[in-house]
Amino acid sequence: MKIKVGFGYDVHQLGEGEELWIGGIKVEHTKGSIGHSDGDVLIHAICDALLGAANMRDIGFHFPDTDPQLKGVDSKLLLDKTIGLIRKNGYDIGNIDSTIALEKPKLKGLIPEMQRVLAQVMDIDIEDIAIKATTTEKLGFVGEQKGIAAYATVLINKS
């Protein structure tokens, strides 16, 4: 068995009146992610980590923000397609460890639903998806509530 590790990172600017999608669920807030798709930073970071681990470039290569068909797309669809790509190359997911950096709103009560949705999209056990949330103690663009960031590390294996 061959084991590989991948790391993903994504960031989006926050804007008034935009929808905030994180981990496949809509989060109620006055600000949301600005992006070509729905701006789900957690899913984008996970996609990048999976593609990187499989040495298949990155999310922008497979799903460019210049593609008009992807304007406003649900990031769960991008994740589903990413899973298809890595599985086509013989990889399965071992586990995912991720962190969302956002000053407000607090996410701890929403994490179980994010895990449920992501497990369903990726067809993996919920126990194999760790999601943590943090602030940046009011420092930087996240702390100033100008943006949101997400980090993901994945373990994939090939039999």
Q: In this prediction, what percent of the chain has a pLDDT beyond 70?
A: 100
Q: Is the model's pLDDT at 44 over the cut of 80?
A: yes
Task: Tell me if 37 is assigned to a ligand binding site.
Answer: yes
Task: Tell me if 93 is assigned to a ligand binding site.
Answer: no
Q: Is the model's pLDDT at 85 over the cut of 90?
A: yes
Question: What's the mean pLDDT in 36-58?
Answer: 97
The pLDDT value given to residue 115 = 98
Task: Tell me if 66 is assigned to a ligand binding site.
Answer: yes
How many whole angstroms separate alpha carbon 32 and alpha carbon 19? 4
For residue 159, name the pLDDT band (cuts at 50, 70, 90).
confident
Residues 6+ apart with CB under 8 A from 159: 1, 90, 92
- Scored b (16 or more CB within 10 A) or e, 68-104 reads eeeeebebbebbeebbebbeeeebebbebebbbbbbe
Task: Tell me if 63 is assigned to a ligand binding site.
Answer: yes
Task: Tell me if 65 is assigned to a ligand binding site.
Answer: yes
The pLDDT value given to residue 121 = 98
The domain spans of the chain are 2-158
Question: What's the mean pLDDT in 34-53?
Answer: 97
Task: Tell me if 141 is assigned to a ligand binding site.
Answer: yes
Helices and strands, number each (H, E), in the chain: 5, 7
Task: Tell me if 128 is assigned to a ligand binding site.
Answer: no
- Phi, psi dihedral angles at 3 (to 5 degrees): -110, 135
Paired strand residues for 154: 6, 96
The vertex-81 CA angle with 95 and 149, nearest 5°, equals 60
Task: Tell me if 7 is assigned to a ligand binding site.
Answer: no
Q: Is the model's pLDDT at 94 over the cut of 80?
A: yes
Task: Tell me if 5 is assigned to a ligand binding site.
Answer: no
Terminal CA-CA length for the chain = 5
Task: Tell me if 60 is assigned to a ligand binding site.
Answer: yes
Task: Tell me if 61 is assigned to a ligand binding site.
Answer: no
Task: Tell me if 64 is assigned to a ligand binding site.
Answer: yes
Tens digits of per-residue pLDDT, 107-157? 999 999 999 999 999 999 999 999 999 999 999 999 999 999 999 999 999
How many whole angstroms separate alpha carbon 96 and alpha carbon 104? 24
The pLDDT value given to residue 70 = 87
Task: Tell me if 73 is assigned to a ligand binding site.
Answer: no
Q: Which superfamily does CATH assign the domain made up of 2-158 to?
A: 2-C-methyl-D-erythritol 2,4-cyclodiphosphate synthase (3.30.1330.50)
